[in-house]
Amino acid sequence: MRIATIVGARPQFVKAAAVSAALRTFASVDEQIIHTGQHYDENLSQLFFKELQIPEPTYNLEIGSLGHGAQIGRMLEALERVLIKTKPDGVIVYGDTNSTLAGALAAAKLCLPLAHIEAGLRSYNRAIPEETNRVLTDHCSDLLFAPTTTAVENLRKEGVPEDKLHFVGDVMYDVALKYGDKAEKSSDVLARAGLERSGYVLATIHRPSNTDNGTRLRIIMSALMQLSRELPVVLPLHPRTRKSLIREHLLEAVSAKLHVIEAVGYLDMVTLEKNACLIATDSGGVQKEAFFYHVSCVTLREETEWPELLELGCNRLAPPTTVVGMLSALRKGLEPLPPIDVNPYGDGRSASRIADILVQRFENKTVASEENQVLLQN
């Protein structure tokens, strides 16, 4: 049985690490990993594969950074060629990136069974491209693996049939349990950066809504620079953010005030997260990792696709609309976390549940339709 896994960005590498390992326990499974090349930086791509012990991609499409339409179009064209060539029994996509949507569309057009891992998330803000990507992917999919009960309810409200829905928990929690201690033992990032445990704020900024908007970017950096007068602020610099800081003539000032470091691998990032006293981020995945490692988080957006973190009191929203408002939220985030005795993300065995369902459904699927056979042979 052949399964095509389509990935392209850091959060997908993390999730694929858990699911690919679970799939490798089945002798009947031949997983072929297709890397779109959406994240082409060494630290954001190859290093993640090495550290998380993900098999090297069977195909690397090397699409790189483009506008949304051009990037999705080129991915779709390249993915269709690969899927026609490899004739998988099913396709897996993760999350909400352009790679996710391109993979979903390619599978749907070829009538290939499609599984969406991290299905059902909603921010209800169609102004951000990730929301469109997740909604369209969910409604193209045959198997929807939801990480939370809230995600399941979101899909039910949209009329997704029950036989497609599977509440499995969050595979990122699986990875956090597996690699949390390993990161502490193998990473020396704190020593390299001259940081004290619980003595710094970690900031990660990469979303286009923040980096492509000069006003928002200036507000974020102004607030972080002011906070740095009280505590060191560490900023691993995403390639997109670096370009935006250069465009806005901010890189020199930010580098003088903040502890700017190059983008880091997964184990270094986990170590930075675990030992921060506060995380300020616009990343969906980092919000959850902050929760996994019991670190307070401030999300630099108007909304989040993880509302349970707000309900638990371990995360707060700080839309970067004013420096004063954002700085106030960051300072409140430095207060001690409330006691938390629940985990909405499962028990750390999500990947094995997903692998079991995938193998059962893909191995037992009926003979492909005549249309599907024609598409794959052309």
User: Token pair of 335, please?
Assistant: 């207060």
The one catalytic residue in 39, 206, 238, 259 is 206
User: Token pair of 289, please?
Assistant: 């990792």
Compute the CA torsion angle 332, 336, 338, 339 (nearest 10 deg).
160
Q: What angle do CA 241, 246, 250 make, to 5 degrees?
A: 90
On the CB side of 184, how many CA atoms lie within 13 Å of its CA?
Answer: 10
User: CA separation (Å) from 40 to 18, 36, 98, 235?
Assistant: 21, 9, 14, 20
What is the Cα–Cα distance from 286 to 273, expressed in whole angstroms? 8
Residues 49, 56: contact at Cβ < 8 Å? yes
What is the Cα–Cα distance from 90 to 111, expressed in whole angstroms? 10
For 306, list phi and psi in degrees, rounded to 5: -120, 70
What is the Cα–Cα distance from 137 to 130, expressed in whole angstroms? 10
On the CB side of 353, how many CA atoms lie within 13 Å of its CA?
Answer: 19
User: Token pair of 73, please?
Assistant: 């179009």
Beta-strand (E) ranges in 118-156?
143-146
Using the CB atoms, write b or e for 72-86: b if 16+ within 10 Å: bebbbebbbebbeee
Whether 206 is a known active-site residue: answer: yes
Beta-strand (E) ranges in 123-258?
143-146, 165-167, 201-204, 233-237
Residues contacting 6, CB < 8 A, separation 6+: 34, 36, 79, 91, 92, 93, 94, 99, 100, 102, 103
Long-range contacts of 292-300 (CB under 8 A, 24+ apart): 292/172, 292/173, 292/176, 292/180, 292/345, 293/176, 293/180, 294/337, 294/340, 296/333, 296/334, 296/335, 296/337, 297/333, 298/329, 298/330, 298/333, 300/205, 300/210, 300/220, 300/326
Cite the active site residues.
206
